Structure 1
């Protein structure tokens, strides 16, 4: 029997991108998808676009929330699938066959993950993420940075507790690490599974996001190892930008 996937999209005042995201889910060839839309009481026409597809949604809520992770928790509370996937407004499932290919890659894994392609606000490809998805992934893999985006990870719902709302910008990192700690089988699909629109809240509040990430990584990996790991991250980041600048010269 094909596992049921709950795809959760959260949105607030993003009429420009919401339809593109919705169609990437609704046009999947995989038949057993439950699509949940959580809108934060948009006022820009987003709700009108969503209503055009309301009959194809399993759940639709439009009400004020306390931020993106509060909205994600509302979606999790409504989900009934075997697995959950967050595909926020502006992002896309990579291709119509992606979900089918993810579940065909292995049977009954606790977590499936893949690669992410980045796009700018005009939906031009920026290529692969700087942090490439690791060949093997565990809860320790984030110690050198967020190597998997939350749009590119399918998590068994029984492992997926609520997001910790003490974190305003990086609760998704904490959520993935917790799920990975409880997982016994994690499968690399070796394929692109998501398209990601750059410039989310963690980019707009970059310093606050970095401080939260440091706090989360310290909780899981310890303070001293986290400091050492961040030195490696800084060196790696510097080398990346040097190579990138040379490529563009």
Structure 2
């Protein structure tokens, strides 16, 4: 199966070298690597062209934020499976994509997810949080559970059938989309109990109090869209993060 991997970039020259290196090292051969750049003003595009031989497509033009860029990537993709590798993130080991495809094939599922490590932005070997996802159950989604979105790989036909990211959301479009795929449409899922992605800390959703408030508001809207009682789900979703700081 062909795997389309999408990276959205904007002035990402300081971090994307690790992203590219981890993609370059993947042992799986049938990868379509798509870069959607928001017309970067630094040397992001030069770094990409000089450090990754596996790029299939580069689109560089202004966009309306990361979810708009990711939607462009999905619409450009031709693979059987679609996943995202953000420009602050990297694959945890060279066989990650190979294991993702194997898991989906062996379990015959629409999607797969795995575990994730948050790492220090200046030292990718220093683990800050460990998101151990655990086995999937649709009832857990109703109680606030969600898989780490950067580890989530889904068949392209599911995006075509159930829709892309809703651009009304500025921060929580990934949560809204996962609720749509998992809870409203009950896609089949397999769990890969390995850390496939390392994510640098300091994402947009937790950058300041304004973004935290916006994320909370958008999470509530996403839950209401899926007809899930929001108070308990949101409380459980936030409380579930505490063990991630303890189990590293």
TM-score bucket (shorter structure): 0.7 to 0.9
Match of 1:93 in 2: 91
Which of the numbers 221, 224, 238 marks the counterpart of 1:218?
224
Match of 1:4 in 2: 2
DSSP 3-state at the match of 2:231: helix
- Do the aligned partners of 1:146 and 1:173 also contact (CA within 8 Å) in 2? no
TM-score w.r.t. length of structure 1: 0.86
TM-score w.r.t. length of structure 2: 0.86
- Do the aligned partners of 1:159 and 1:182 also contact (CA within 8 Å) in 2? no
Deviation track 1:86-120 (CA, whole Å, cap 9, x = no partner) reads 11101012210111112223423201111001112
The structure number with the bigger radius of gyration is 1
Q: Judging changes above 3 Å, is the alpha-carbon distance between structure 1 residues 207 and 143 closer, same or farther for their aligned structure 2 residues?
A: farther
Q: Judging changes above 3 Å, is the alpha-carbon distance between structure 1 residues 4 and 125 closer, same or farther for their aligned structure 2 residues?
A: same
Match of 1:149 in 2: 148
Match of 2:34 in 1: 36
Greater displacement, 208-217 / 198-207: 198-207
DSSP 3-state at the match of 1:96: coil
> Is 1:182 aligned to residue 185 of structure 2?
yes
Mapped partners of 2:165, 2:15: distance in 1: 24
Mapped partners of 2:213, 2:88: distance in 1: 23
Match of 1:47 in 2: 45
- Regions of 4+ moved over 6 Å: none
Match of 1:23 in 2: 21
- Do the aligned partners of 1:143 and 1:221 also contact (CA within 8 Å) in 2? no
Greater displacement, 180-189 / 120-129: 180-189
DSSP 3-state at the match of 2:226: helix
Greater displacement, 54-63 / 15-24: 54-63
By how many angstroms is 1:217 displaced?
Answer: 0.9
Q: Judging changes above 3 Å, is the alpha-carbon distance between structure 1 residues 36 and 183 closer, same or farther for their aligned structure 2 residues?
A: farther
Mapped partners of 1:133, 1:126: distance in 2: 16
Structure 1 unaligned runs (5+)?
none
Structure 2 unaligned runs (5+)?
none
Mapped partners of 2:49, 2:235: distance in 1: 48
Mapped partners of 1:17, 1:164: distance in 2: 27
**CA RMSD, Structure 1 to Structure 2 (Å):** 2.3
